[in-house]
Structure 1
Amino acid sequence: MQITKDIETLIDLAISEDYISGDPTTKSLISPSDSGSAIIVSDQEGVLAGIDVALFVFSKFSSITSTKVLLSDGDNLKKGSHIARIEGSLSSILSAERTALNFLQLCSGVATETSKYVEAIHGTKSKIVDTRKTIPGFRRLQKYSVQIGGGYNHRHNLSDGILIKDNHIAAFGGSITNTIKAAKKNAAHTLKIEIEVETLENVQEALDAKADIIMLDNMSTNMMAEAVKLCKGQAVTEASGGVTLSTVKEIAETGVDIISIGAITHSAPNLDISLDITSL
């Protein structure tokens, strides 16, 4: 992963959060001149993501620290898999450990959770996509990790497209037709218009108003299947709301084009990854 300026700024913020007044534990025990090496190890199965970010953290603590990638983003991890080796200033390795692992565990957790959903719908035409329900400041990393896990990105930010939700409709007077017409009139012609609906009547109204994408919100799979039939050849369909690993296959089997899941970013558990000092 390329370390862009915004990612580097996030890394700097994370380091300053943890290293705000130094590391008295390491300082009291380890000489600045001491050298050593460490290995990053996976403690559970999963999908690796964020290794470049994690290793960049070590370089921030010491310019003479060297790193070697043993596994790359997208590789499958087993318990005990060796991910990367770090060599150089022992005190720098110890002080950077937690911040580096925080990034790596979070990114790998998102990639791993996404991969479970992708695997669950294998053989269907549906795609797993994320949402904007991300940790503030971490959106680029989390959306990158979704891709590593085999998923796709929805909007990165508000400017990426028009997504009319129930509150937009309510704020505009309650009419789906009028809301879509206003969006088409006032927005750039290059932007697709997506609208959230809850009933088959809403679906037909959105189709008549020429919506490009129709979000089927919290529908039963029976209703969703009917909605997909109505939309065929007229609009892209997106299933949303309360999707879980136990329901995603049934949802995909309705023929819906996209399944958006907030849980792959806002609720993905961190992957268990650790760092072990190997030599002094």
Structure 2
Amino acid sequence: MVPGLDHAWVVDVVRRTLSEDLGGDPGRDVTSQATIAVSSGAVAHLVARQAGVVAGLVVVHEVVAQVSARFGLGQVTVELDVQDGTRVEAGRRLAVLTGPVQVLLMAERSLLNLASRASGVATATRAWADRLDGTGATVLDTRKTTPGLRALEKYAVRAGGGTNKRMGLYDVAMVKDNHVVAAGSVTAAVAAVRAAFPDVLVQVEADTLDQALEAVAAGATFLLLDNMPTDVLAATVAAVRAGEATTGRIELEATGNLTLDRAAEVARTGVDYMSVGGLTHSAPILDLALDLVAR
């Protein structure tokens, strides 16, 4: 079971998505409302046109329910054939929707946009999770997400077998190069965060071995090893690990310039994680369709 989405967030994002498509609340669908009788009902199949990992099916019921409520039309029943996180082949039926045709067609693009986007992220994540299986390393996402859809895309990462890093700027402190410049040093930046927000985890980005060791000396317990060539990354991991008898366990993440082809090579350096912005900022959608079928 994939850890779920906050219901209030789903309600809000579906409301905004529908208003964008319908031109307001309630809005209108000038084609469907002109050509289809209110009393007309149908069955529709949600199907995958491509092989991949599905995610976002949890929003389908909310989309059709909100359309029904906006226009005072009958409810659509949704029967899921698969759960989020399932691998599917092209042509696989994912769900059966039964109800007023107007509702089905007014909801169609919104539910497909959300589910296709999430499924694309889940599919991209699964490729990384499969490549890292057995290596001891885990793939992480980043904050490079579609504005307004972060919760859905990070949910999709979980559905694809990945792990969420921080959700935003509020839950974990991440000292990066610009913070170091502003504070004067890695040590000063870590100390400033600790003083201001003693309750949060502090992560530090390091571009060199010296920066990594300075961060550990300053008390950081999680390092982002950024854009390091494999030999430098391996040496940095070894140096940090050598001091763990004194410092305690340090979590190490490789980030920047990561590809599936390099995944096993990077994992062999001994890092715990690899963060991949492309899981969310570059994943193509998984092509899904909603097709009316004869009763």
Which TM-score tier does this pair reach, normalised by the shorter chain? over 0.9
**Paired position in structure 2 for 1:191:** 200
Are the aligned partners of 1:121 and 1:249 in contact in 2 as well (CA < 8 Å)?
Answer: yes
* Amino acid in structure 1 at the alignment position of 2:201: K
Q: CA deviation at 1:3?
A: 5.5
The sequence identity of aligned pairs, in percent, is 36
C-alpha distance in structure 2 between counterparts of 1:148 and 1:19, whole Å:
30
- 1:132 matched to 2:143? The reply is yes
**Paired position in structure 2 for 1:179:** 189
**Paired position in structure 2 for 1:268:** 283
**Paired position in structure 1 for 2:162:** 151
Please show how residues 79-228 of structure 1 align to structure 2 within 5 Å.
Answer: 79-173=90-184, 175-188=185-198, 190-228=199-237
- Which of 65, 81, 84 does residue 70 from structure 1 map onto? 81
TM-score (norm: length of structure 2): 0.91
Q: Deviations over 1:11-65 (max 9, x none)?
A: 0000000011411111222111111110001011111111120232112122521
* Amino acid in structure 2 at the alignment position of 1:108: S
Q: CA deviation at 1:192?
A: 2.0
Q: Deviations over 1:89-127 (max 9, x none)?
A: 011111111111001101111111000011111111111
SS at match of 2:260: coil
- 1:48 matched to 2:59? The reply is no
C-alpha distance in structure 1 between counterparts of 2:129 and 2:261, whole Å:
13
* Amino acid in structure 1 at the alignment position of 2:237: V
Return 5+ residue gaps in structure 2 as ranges. Answer: 69-73
SS at match of 2:43: strand
C-alpha distance in structure 2 between counterparts of 1:33 and 1:208, whole Å:
71
Q: Which runs of 4+ in 1 moved over 6 A?
A: none
* Amino acid in structure 2 at the alignment position of 1:273: L
| Aligned-pair Cα RMSD in Å | 1.3
Range moving further from structure 2, 231-240 or 270-279: 231-240
Could you say if the C-alpha distance between residues 126 and 34 of structure 1 is closer, same or farther in structure 2, counting changes exceeding 3 Å? same
C-alpha distance in structure 1 between counterparts of 2:32 and 2:187, whole Å:
64
C-alpha distance in structure 2 between counterparts of 1:54 and 1:100, whole Å:
6
Please show how residues 12-31 of structure 1 align to structure 2 within 5 Å.
Answer: 12-20=15-23, 21-31=27-37
Are the aligned partners of 2:118 and 2:152 in contact in 1 as well (CA < 8 Å)?
Answer: yes
Are the aligned partners of 2:5 and 2:151 in contact in 1 as well (CA < 8 Å)?
Answer: no
Return 5+ residue gaps in structure 1 as ranges. Answer: none
Are the aligned partners of 2:5 and 2:152 in contact in 1 as well (CA < 8 Å)?
Answer: no
